[in-house]
Amino acid sequence: VDFSPTDIANSGMVGDDRLFVALQDGRISIVESDGTVQATPFLSITDRVVGGGQLGMLGLVFDPD
């Protein structure tokens, strides 16, 4: 898997050990607790994101509620 990660977050939900990885090209991938990456992105907005250099999806945050 080709990653250009810009941020990593967890959902904040009790019992959810997954990591959500923001990628510069506009995808959010899920990394399971055993280190495997889900094949299907959690979110893909690549058609709305211009990546490269200092452009692209640069952060990720979950609402605590």
Please state, in angstroms and rounded to a whole number, the distance separating the CA atoms of residues 28 and 21: 5
Whether 61 is in a domain gets the answer no
Number of domains observed in the structure of the chain: 1
pLDDT beneath 50: ranges in the chain: 1
Whether 57 is in a domain gets the answer no
3-class secondary-structure state, position 56: coil
Whether 62 is in a domain gets the answer no
What is the model's pLDDT at position 21?
95
Contact 19, 5 (CB under 8 A): no
What is the model's pLDDT at position 32?
96
What is the model's pLDDT at position 2?
61
Whether 65 is in a domain gets the answer no
What is the model's pLDDT at position 9?
94
With CA atoms as reference, report the closest residue to 31 among 7, 55, 53: 7
